[in-house]
Amino acid sequence: MNAHIDIPVILAGLYLVLVLYVPDAIMKHRNPLPCKAFFALWNLILTVFSAVGTYYTVPHIVSLIWNRGLRYSACADVHESFYDTPAGFWVAVFILSKIPELMDTVFLVIQKKDIIFLHWYHHVTVMLYCWHAYSTKIGSGLWFAAMNFSVHSIMYFYYFLGAVGARSLIRPIAPLITSLQLLQMVVGMAVTIATFVWRQDSEGCSVNAANSRMGLIMYTSYFILFAALFKKLYLTPGGRKKTSTEAAAIAPEKKRK
């Protein structure tokens, strides 16, 4: 990761070209490409991937908390707490998965669907942050991976069911998904602040100060954006009819005009 820190930066630049240039410059006068089957398969793959990641990371972090305490689970040296375990492997795969997850946006572009700010901002910042977090070996990385795996296993399954025509059956769980993501941001902020504070005392904490600052900004901005989305979708009268987004704002549905 340290030897190739340029990779996520280059990919972020190319990704922004895809988001900000391709829809209007290339796809504007073209018909949407039919890819419903591929989109469904993609979401099924991500569902299974996230579920397996949850299976390996969540029990491991629960075990750390139960046997060694909350602080240890977020502050211990990564080589001691999880790097050389199956959970450590899945944390590494989690970091790298943020690159292929950019395909979420490719599907939206070729189907000529809206790409809201939260969607592309989330993808870019998560990819950059995760790469930096892994390269600096932060002890709290297992927390962030476990939470993301857990929420994504539900979210991508929701999108898979929607892609195969079961949207009317699963629509009631959309608020739950957004609520879980809000909870994820709250826990992310709490863990980041806690590790930053613990880092200041004599016992210390295996986190990077710059990464903590970036993480707090990232989680706080996500919380604000997801809270605004939740308010618009579920607390504003007629909000669901006025917006083009669904659930976690990762897969907008409305076609571009």
3 Cβ neighbours under 8 A, 6+ residues apart: none
Residues 14, 222: Cα–Cα separation, whole Å: 22
152 is catalytic: no
Tell me which of 122, 123, 132, 152 is the catalytic residue: 122
What gap in Å lies between CA 176 and CA 19, rounded to an integer? 28
Rounded CA-CA distance 81/63 in Å is 10
What token pair was written down for 207? 């986190």
Q: How far apart are CA 42 and CA 111, in angstroms?
A: 15
Task: Give residue 230's Cα distance to chain centre.
Answer: 17
- Closest among 147, 142, 201, 177 to 251, alpha carbons compared: 177
CA distance 28 to 204: 54
Picking from 124, 101, 131, 128, the residue whose alpha carbon sits closest to that of residue 19 is: 124
Rg of the chain in Å (alpha carbons): 19
Q: Read off the DSSP letter of residue 247.
A: T
How far apart CA 94 and CA 105 sit, in angstroms, is 18
Smallest Cα–Cα separation from 182: which of 254, 247, 121, 129?
A: 247
Phi, psi values for residue 5, rounded to 5°: -65, -15
Active site residues: 122
